[in-house]
Amino acid sequence: MANTPVALLEQANNRGTLYAVVEQDERTAYFYIYPAEPFTQRYNMRACWLRNLQPAPDERDYGAMEKGTAPLLETRYCNHPDGKESLQADELSVMWHEEDDGATLFYQNEPLAVIPGWSLAAEQPASYALDCTEVVENCGLFPLAAPALYERIEKTSAFWDKWGNETENPWQPIQQQFLQAYEAQFGETLQYYAIDQQMWPPMALARFEKEDVVYFLSLGVSIRPMPWVELLYNDQAPGFRRMELGLAVSKKDFTEEEIMMMAQGVSGMADSPWANLTWLGEGHTISSASVPAGFDSFILSSALYNGPDIDLPAMEGDRVNLFWASPITLAERESAHTKANGGYDLLERMIGAGIRHVVKKRGSL
């Protein structure tokens, strides 16, 4: 077939959950983000027109769509009605966004297109192309023109430059800031466990003990903002997109083996937002095989905490939320899932019953 598209670029994101692809045929060039196989039921492919290689039609290219090929963009929407030269594969590069769900495409080191991560979860697609001159309502295509888009690209580029700097690794000061914040309340760090499985970013779980309570607190999880949050919270996203995890267990109620099992469960949550293209927040429940007998899951909450203030450092200017993991029973989890925001109701019941962040033996509410 003369018009078979050729893949000029294909690059997976950090966790292999999504793939950025640039395809070009004799007529057009397009940028795509495809979900990996485990996520195809939850997320649709997102497409972004890049350029026409032939003269643009005056009307929508229904003929191409009927044939299942990428359509040309109409004349009134593109800045090159007579067509443009083909893209060269060696001039293309992709920069994944910090959330690991969206990406910016560069050509000759200049931004060419953006597919934002929130578009994957939104009902309507959205993408931004440099050669698009005005909004194309029927396919969610926008000009790559807003200053805020370029500010975001520059910020993301600076973020990756910082983490790629071999002479000034940013992890050490982050590590020290978080350990100091935790030690100020819970005493010296007794043990330190790497939980990043030797993948970026560095993440760890630190152990503390105070007044017959064992504490495990994470650090490094907040280096990345979580997917989804920008879509859900818009301008308020900086207050919700970064987290660390905490666990506090009474030594009088549980054995060392049970305590370590719960800590393993918490460490397993640390990468979940990026491994599963999701987010974690107040009142979220997570099924776990690491809870003690009689329990089914964990619920996450900062509201359960009733200890002294922990002064966590900001991350990239964002607030960092510390969510404490507390085991809940199957009945409690099922109750929380019967309605929207049911986790908040369960937390209110828990707090009303005197259940706070320190995990103790208890019956079901």
pLDDT in tens, 22-75: 999 999 999 999 999 999 999 999 999 999 999 999 999 988 888 889 999 999
Give the number of residues written for the chain: 365
| Residue 165 pLDDT level (bands cut at 50, 70, 90) | confident
Q: Do the Cβ atoms of 34 and 19 come closer than 8 Å?
A: yes
Q: What's the CA gap between 112 and 128, in Å, rounded?
A: 8
pLDDT > 50? residue 1: no
pLDDT > 90? residue 3: no
pLDDT in tens, 88-103: 999 999 999 999 999 9
pLDDT > 90? residue 168: no
Q: Give the lowest-confidence range in 134-138, 166-170, 221-225.
A: 166-170
List C-alpha distances in Å: 32 to 35, 46, 226, 278: 10, 6, 21, 20
Q: What's the CA gap between 248 and 322, in Å, rounded?
A: 12
pLDDT in tens, 246-260: 999 999 999 999 999
pLDDT in tens, 135-163: 998 889 999 999 999 999 999 999 999 99
pLDDT > 60? residue 2: no
339-348 CB contacts, 8 Å cutoff, 24+ apart: 341/283, 342/283, 343/282, 343/283, 343/284, 343/285, 343/299, 344/282, 344/283, 346/283, 346/299, 347/282, 347/283, 347/299, 347/301, 347/303, 347/304
| Residue 265 pLDDT level (bands cut at 50, 70, 90) | very high
Amino acid 121: pLDDT: 87
Amino acid 137: pLDDT: 85
By three-state DSSP, how is residue 194 classified? strand
pLDDT > 60? residue 19: yes
Nearest in space to 23 (alpha carbons), one of 59, 56, 75, 71 = 71
Task: Return mean pLDDT, the chain.
Answer: 96
